[in-house]
Structure 1
Amino acid sequence: MTLIKKLILVALVASAGVSANAVYSVPSASAAVVLQQGAVNGDVWDVQYRLRTLGYYEPSIDGKYGPITAAAVRNFQTNYGLNVDGIVGANTWDALRKFSVNQAEMDVLAKVIYSEARGESFEGQVAVGAVVMNRLKSSQFANTIQGIVFEQGAFTAVSDGQYNLTPDSTAYKAAMEAVKGWDPTGGALYYFNPRTATSNWIWSRPQTVQIGNHIFAK
């Protein structure tokens, strides 16, 4: 760069009232995007999907933040003890991510239900999904569905490859019920098959209920 060009650049920076060494922050990809009426984007689609899994939103998921979406958000905020303003800010995002799932997470949940419990009753399949959701709400485990399911050794079906099977519609229905809050396990964080479990630790856990071939425990 020539001396003249350098002088011009310095003059331009000075006239803008900033330092030539200024550092500009770039929003994190994980930063919460504030959503309110009038917004049209994929984040709105995500919110609508999450609200639907919880039973707050029934219309088509279109990515448009209109009055119906705002009303659904307000109902969610009311029931979860949040500031009721119909706006999805950081606190509402946090609650949605803690108590609901997006489409990709629903796929993961359905896959783990199918691979772990496809031979069980519908209640037994919901129960496996409920354990995942209970872990999501617990500080003892990862704070994402993927983190919970793919924790090393957490689920036999992930370890032996059965997780890669394609889940059926029943598994998706069971996943939806678990996300909506049906918990046949009584708050269990673990489950095991009493015919095959050899871990003294898992047998030592306080048991809540047996559903089909699984004993559920805290």
Structure 2
Amino acid sequence: MKKRNVIILMMLAVFAFLYPLDQADAAAQTLKPGATSGDVWDLQYRLQVLGFYPYSLDGIYGNRTTRAVRSFQYQYGLPADGVVGAQTWRALRKYSVNAIELDLLARLVYSEARGEPYVGKVAVAAVAMNRLQTKDFPKTIRGVIFEPYAFTAVNDGQFWLTPDASAYKAAWEAARGWDPSSGALYYFNPNTATSKWIWTRPQIKKIGNHIFTK
């Protein structure tokens, strides 16, 4: 096995040790007003990303958090009771990211699309978000990104490069719902693509060096 492949496998092993459980597999803790557990920070961050919580994170499930939860529940067709149970957690995890997941998304953007126009960076992040919301793909950002052979940058190790500010901004905007890819689930560079299968996918548009497809 090549030395580079060994290094990549070691990085993946370290990541799996630090974050051993996908959130989709974790037991959802029911949160109610008055809660102060670590999950409240996660909740507030997700609501902030989606624009429902325009305040500083404090880890306290107070009136502001309750109003934000109810607004989210109402907009996504859930019972607007202000309680975050399993159903609300599933919706939050489907349409938002937490701080760790945003970092993963930024790494994907930087490793796959650095050098691309900014809108192309957002589009790459949007593809990951679109997969998260599609039943044929894993149910977490981590699962989407680390699905075997899903992204070249994960396979060749570039994923572990340190993202720049532009990558984080692009990841944030995609997580908030901006989708320049118009619903794409795949993308490829026609100058370097070696897969014949990717050329069979219905093409949506070209942004920079990438063609985005269904």
Same fold (TM over 0.5): yes
1:140 is paired with a residue whose SS is coil
- Distance (Å, rounded) in 1 between the aligned partners of 2:36 and 2:146: 33
Is residue 195 of structure 1 aligned with residue 188 of structure 2? no
- Structural mapping, 1:145-164, within 5 Å: 145-164=141-160
Structure 1 match to 2:169 = 173
CA apart distance, 1:149 = 0.7
Q: Percent identity?
A: 63
CA apart distance, 1:199 = 1.6
Unaligned runs of 5+ in 2: 1-24
Could you tell me which amino acid in structure 1 is paired with residue 91 of structure 2? A
Unaligned runs of 5+ in 1: 1-28
Structure 1 match to 2:38 = 42
1:172 is paired with a residue whose SS is helix
Q: Name the TM-score, length of structure 1 as normaliser.
A: 0.85
Deviations 1:157-215 (A, max 9, x none): 11111111000111111001101111111110000001111222100100011000000
- Structural mapping, 1:105-124, within 5 Å: 105-124=101-120
2:68 is paired with a residue whose SS is helix
Higher Cα Rg: structure 1 or 2? 1
Q: Name the TM-score, length of structure 2 as normaliser.
A: 0.87
RMSD: 0.9
Q: Which has the higher contact order (CA 8 A, sep 6+)?
A: 2
Deviations 1:6-29 (A, max 9, x none): xxxxxxxxxxxxxxxxxxxxxxx8
- Distance (Å, rounded) in 1 between the aligned partners of 2:195 and 2:158: 21
Could you tell me which amino acid in structure 2 is paired with residue 204 of structure 1? T
CA apart distance, 1:83 = 0.3
